[in-house]
Chain A
Amino acid sequence: MSNVKIDGYQLFCLIVLFLFGTTIFLDIGSGAKQDAWILTLISPFAGLILFTIYYQLHKRFPTLPLTEYVRKIWGKFLGSIISYFYIIYFIYIASRVLRDIEEILINSAYYKTSITVVGICMMLTLIYTVNFGFEVFARVACICFLLIGLTLLIINIMFIITDLIHIENLKPILADGWKPIIKSLPLNVTVPYGELITLSMVFPYLNKQTKILKTGIMAVLFAGIYFTLNILLLICVLGTDVLSRSSFPALKAASFIDIAGFIQRLDSFVIILVVFLGFIKITMFFFCAVIGMNTLFKIKSSALSTYSIGVIILLASIMIAPSYQNHLDEGLEIVPYLLHIPLQIVIPLLLLLTVLIKGRIKNVIT
């Protein structure tokens, strides 16, 4: 892991794809109804603030991952507990994303297949990837970015040429004022932007440290703009009513495409994208968990932690929720407030404050 060669462009691809994750297929900003696009336009700026916090922390400890500098800042005992929590958090989120993919596949194509089989196949691929290390993963992301970008572009062009877009679905703008937007803002900042906390686990392993901030900002803004276009398209194609009722709006929208009775069932391409993007996202969390585990418990062989964490993620993905609805509810009502906000926002902010105050005190003494 020590000398990883990743250039700015690769980091950009990685961050963008990671942000896309499963979010671009889900109904983001549903609370704001037809104004969801305003929400997705605002949230990247909140995301940038979070990214800057993570970057500022990294800048003070350029050679350490998050789980290590927590222990430097808050001492061995408290720090170890916090970093242990982070590892569990990464594993938990990985298994949540894995569950999302499993559910999408089972609901769309594999009605009779066991969720376990779908999960095992994915996990084998994930373990294979993680074993190759982060540099290879970054290159995979680079190629995936080209493939996924091209596919998304083609699908979006199809929406336009098949005359599925109904601009009137966007009206009325701000019918209920700014309140619903502000209310659902925290949820939209934590996922996906807050999940950039994973980057603070891999920052120390990148070789071009100077480019991180610029690349990160560009990637976050790019993702924000794409989210906005994406949600605009979905609202225009589906309307807020269908949008809020379907579990995978992007699938539903793509299935409307029909050109000359020949180009149809494009939702299968969307499923392919779901698997690719989900793969990138889980791998990222997986890496973070492995890095955290290796540094916290001083494990020498990466294979040991990779395999054990892989099995835990797989089992957890099946056991975390009895049904998909339950899984979604947890994701919307419990996880953001109990996990995302404390671990993505509160703790990093407190860490940064501690560091700043410590620095101030030191300055005063000397």
Chain B
Amino acid sequence: MSGENHNHIIPLSENVEENIEKLEMALGKSDDLSIRRLNVSAKNVAIIHIEGIVDDQSINENVISPIIQLNKENHPFKSTKELADKIVQILSVASIEFIFNWSDLLENILAGDTVILVDDSPKAITLGTKKIQSRSITEPTTQTVIKGPKDSFTENISTNISLVRSRIQNAKLRLKLTKVGNVTKTDVGIMYIQGNADISIVNEVMSRLEKINIDSILEANYIEEAVRDNRKTLFPLMQSSERPDVVAANLLEGKIAIIIQGTPFVLILPVLLIQFFQSPEDYYENNAFSSFLRLIRIGSFLLNMYASAVYLALITHHQGLIPTTLMVTLMAQRERVPFPAIIELLLMELAFEVLREAGVRMPRAIGPAVSIVGALILGQAAVEAGFVSAAIVIIVATSAINSFTLPNTNIVNTARGLRFLLIFSSAFIGFYGILLLTLCILVHLCSLRSFGVPYVAPFAPFRMGAQKDSLIRFPITSINMNDTEGNKETKTK
């Protein structure tokens, strides 16, 4: 690493061959390094790029052929400077830059630019010919909607930026690019809307990104873990989305997006808890209906977290609270089961977690097999064999189904973690345990901040104006996008 630091003060040699030799040494004689040597007016000219990450056609047509043409014309150039200037003029490439030192040279070549070296000239000409192969824009796979845009981000940062830009055609949309990762030098872009976003948060994000000192950035989570406020929390302090419409909507609300090369997931910050229950579809449907669905989602989240723990508390500590007829049914089921309720519940919960993990990892072709094994063998047969009671299967299945209503997977994982904690506290001291753990979760939530904005923002601190788009959604015309949710909070800071 220390060699690199020296490079940027080492100027380029004026001899083309010397430079090429040094470059080959630096890249370990890499086989995909392509060097085209030409001779223009008795000066050596070299055109260098790395194969595969450049636009070959553009280089052939717009770079090499004009230079060959120039050679044919046989101009008498007085100086090298004149030759270099002439070359710059005849190239039909959009972006042209001059560089003077080694580190820039290496960086540009590795990023997909083409470099032209000219004898006796201390500067190199770089041409923006980057073209990285990527898959085309497809439908989103993790955040699907019935009605609404069907495009999603890809692994290519420039495609992603274009998807956002095409939605917000405004001069105030700002982009700042930087490179993160000591080894990978991944392109990371920060997008925000000037005037809507709190500029102090933008600066804070920039400074936190600059402070990141890890070798590689391969996915959005690398950034998320490196820059979040509180490391000791189960709750996601940033939202990740693969939908350009979600990112655009958040930008308009004054949020900041971090776009990372190599992943279709874009980070959105600062984030509020309530945002994880809001689906983009909420704004594409009738507001009364989407408000109802939002409440359903919050209810599902709570059920997903609490169903098992509450059942356990009822069956082991507070039988008196169950209506008598239901109690008789439940107890009749439990009579054959050889395990205590907590073991029974943990077995089923873990079985479901295993099924879920298996569902993600296994090859597509054997997908139906898992559902047969899961549903029939684990569910029905286990009950019939008397290993578990039917009620437990129902409870675990209910909480599982409920977890799928949430539009954002980050918060589902939080609920999964908290569910086990709640089960243990419920097994220990029943409802009282659930209640105290809930208080602790509440206190923890209140202590969280996402880039300085309180996590539970529209409720504590309470903002009346922001209630129009938190638990329920008012008609779009009555929501002033600029003071929704925590945005006001950010601005008053």
Contacts and interface: CB of A to CB of B under 8 A. Distances in A.
Q: Do A and B come from one complex?
A: yes
Contact of B461 (A10, A121, A125, A137): A10
Contacts of B460: 10, 139-140, 142-143
Nearest to A101: B432
Contact of B429 (A121, A261, A262, A271): A121
A9 B461 contact: yes
B429 A117 contact: yes
B461 A7 contact: yes
B439 A279 contact: yes
Interface string A167-209: 0000000000000000000000000000000000000000000
B459 interface: yes
A140 B433 CA distance: 18
Given A109-B430, A121-B429, A9 B439 contact: no
Most-contacted residue by chain A among B435, B460, B462 (CB, 10 A): B460
Interface in A254-279: 261-262, 264-265, 268, 271-272, 275-276, 279
A140 B442 CA distance: 7
Interface stretch (A19-27, A70-78, A128-136, A297-305): A128-136
Interface string A135-163: 01101101110100000000000000000
Nearest to A5: B461
Given A10-B460, A10-B461, A262-B323, A143 B435 contact: no
Given A10-B461, A146-B459, A128 B431 contact: no
Interface string B86-118: 000000000000000000000000000000000
B456 interface: yes
Contact of B447 (A132, A264, A268, A276): A132
A261 B436 CA distance: 29
B432 A105 contact: yes
Nearest to A265: B321
B439 A121 contact: no
Interface of A is mostly: helix
A275 B435 contact: yes
B432 A275 contact: yes
A264 B325 CA distance: 14
Given A140-B443, A140-B446, A109 B432 contact: yes
A125 B443 CA distance: 9
Contact of A109 (B318, B440, B443): B318
Interface size class of B (residues with CB under 8 A): 20 to 34
Given A10-B460, A136-B447, A265-B321, A143 B442 contact: yes
Contacts of B446: 132, 136-137, 139-140, 143
Contacts of A271: 431
Contacts of B318: 109, 268
Contact of A128 (B321, B440, B459, B461): B440
User: Is chain B's binding surface mostly helix, strand, loop or mixed?
Assistant: helix
Contacts of B461: 7, 9-10, 139, 142
B229 to A, nearest CB: 14
B454 interface: yes
B430 A129 contact: no
A275 B446 CA distance: 19
A122 B432 CA distance: 9
Contacts of A276: 435, 439
Interface string B412-448: 0000000000000000011111011001101100110
Nearest to A12: B462
Contact of A118 (B432, B439, B442): B432
A220 to B, nearest CB: 20
A143 B459 contact: yes
Contacts of B433: 121
Contact of A125 (B321, B430, B440): B440
B55 to A, nearest CB: 53
Given A143-B456, A143-B460, A268-B321, A121 B432 contact: yes
Contacts of B462: 9-10, 142
B432 A139 contact: no
A209 to B, nearest CB: 17
Contacts of B321: 265, 268
Given A140-B443, A262-B323, A276-B439, 11 more contacts: A118-B429, A125-B443, A132-B443, A137-B443, A139-B446, A139-B461, A140-B439, A140-B446, A142-B460, A143-B459, A276-B435
Interface of B: 317-318, 320-321, 323, 429-433, 435-436, 439-440, 442-443, 446-447, 454, 456, 459-462
13 contacts: A10-B462, A109-B318, A110-B429, A110-B430, A113-B429, A121-B436, A125-B436, A125-B440, A137-B443, A140-B446, A262-B323, A264-B323, A276-B435
Across the A-B interface, give the 10 residue pairs with the lowest CB-CB distance, nearest first. A142-B460, A139-B460, A139-B446, A136-B447, A125-B436, A132-B447, A136-B446, A129-B443, A143-B460, A140-B446
